[in-house]
Amino acid sequence: MTDILDELQWRGLLAQHTDLEALREHLNAGPVTFYCGYDPTAPSLHHGHLVQLIVMRHLQLAGHRPLALVGGATGQIGDPRQSGERQLQSTDVVKGWADRLHSQISKFLDFEGPAAATMVNNLDWTQEMSAIDLLRTIGKYFRVGTMLNKDIVARRIASDEGISYTEFSYQVLQANDFLELYRRNGCTLETGGNDQWGNMVGGVDLIRKVEGVDTHVMTTPIITKADGTKFGKSEGGAIWLDPEMMTPYAFYQFWLQVADDDVVRFLKIFTFKSREEIEALAVEVAQRPHQRAAQKALAASVTELVHGADQLQRVLAATDALWGGGDIRDLDEATLAAATAGLPRASLSIGESTVADALVALGFEKGKTAARRTISSGGASINNVKVEDPEAVLGHDDVLAGGLALIRKGRKNLAVLELS
């Protein structure tokens, strides 16, 4: 089997780390218990968290034991951001978000077998500590000068807004998490994003000072596009993993639109496809980019990973029905609504309005004369069925799930009618 660190490096999932050879020996010596933390600062995980979940899964498949930490305590604080102070949420909100993250994370790891994963919540040990306990037993090991020199802290201090003691103390709490997991679970490795490097190294230093033991950390790079810009924004905002915040159809379409310059690298990062499969797709990108085979493989793999095989099949059916030869009437209301959410739309009445009226209402034609001419020439369809009568009236048979109908002019102009 390929060395796990070599595999992560090949996939572009390894950035900073403690002593590489020592880490390699540690991982090769036997099953290692490791952890990654996820703070409930929003109701859902996003694509950045997905990178960490994939790293955890790679390590688990290599025989190592994951601890997935939900930050019920640190989520009430929030790690410092470059853009300024976080808005603190109520305890009840954080708890609700923590429960949602717990459910999301659970889908990515195995909780049985020799490398069984364990879910932990840092509220379990943090809430047991008094302020005196924290200052006496943990705080005394931290030097303010070192804390001030942390990159994100230094930037915030230099900003007009500064940084509160609340967010400044975050690094102490995260370091204490590593110490507690070492004591409770024998955890000797922390993984996370590159922006967490300073906090993670703080945990290594704390364990060395308190327990006299060397532990390890490793980070993933911040994912960027080929042009150097940040990756991970759709027209609607962040790439959320929760289907209520980003539909599986929209999620699939986001990955389908990845540029040729990025797609092979993202196949390595966001999928578990083998080297041979990815190399074959790289050839497709180079020789037949118009077929977008790599993008289709990426979108299908990530959508199935996050939303499951059943949702992927619904998404593929919707994509085929809208842009291929599939039957639009096979789509359920939720899938159809998600697939058409970004299309132009208008509202018309059944039995009173014609297809020509629809073409005008949707802005496809300026007047009914031009609309009738388009229909007569075979240039209009409703629900993927060509309309032949220029005076055709919209009827009950034209209504799809959710009271919708699809009107198409030519091949590329597609819109939604809301029929009543």
Annotated binding site: 35, 170, 174, 233
- Annotated binding residues for ATP: 233
Question: Are the beta carbons of 356 and 372 closer than 8 angstroms?
Answer: yes
Q: Which long-range contacts (CB under 8 A, 24 or more apart) does 201-204 make?
A: 201/18, 202/142, 202/171, 202/172, 202/174, 202/175, 203/174, 203/175, 203/176, 203/177, 203/178, 203/179, 204/18, 204/178
- Annotated binding residues for L-tyrosine: 35, 170, 174
Exposure class string for 154-171: b at 16+ Cβ within 10 A, else e:
eebeeeeeebeeebbebb
Amino acid at 219: T
Query: Hey, what are 45's tokens?
Result: 């995980």
Query: Hey, what are 4's tokens?
Result: 């796990």
Indicate left, alpha or beta for 305 from its phi (over 0: left) and psi (-120 to 50: alpha). alpha
- Output the DSSP codes for 37-67: EE--SSSS-BHHHHHHHHHHHHHHHTTPEEE
Pairing of strands 404-409, 413-419: antiparallel
Which element (helix H / strand E) includes 418? strand 413-419
Determine the distance from the C-alpha atom of residue 297 to the mean position of all C-alpha atoms in its chain, rounded to a whole number: 17
The edge-to-edge listing of strands for the beta sheet with 380-382 is: 345-348, 413-419, 404-409, 380-382, 385-386
For the chain, the distance separating the N- and C-terminal CA atoms, rounded to the nearest angstrom, is 61
Amino acid at 133: D
Instruction: Assign 376 to helix, strand or coil.
Output: helix
Which element (helix H / strand E) includes 217? strand 216-220
Q: Which residues pair with 336 in a beta bridge?
A: none
d(CA 282, CA 290): 13
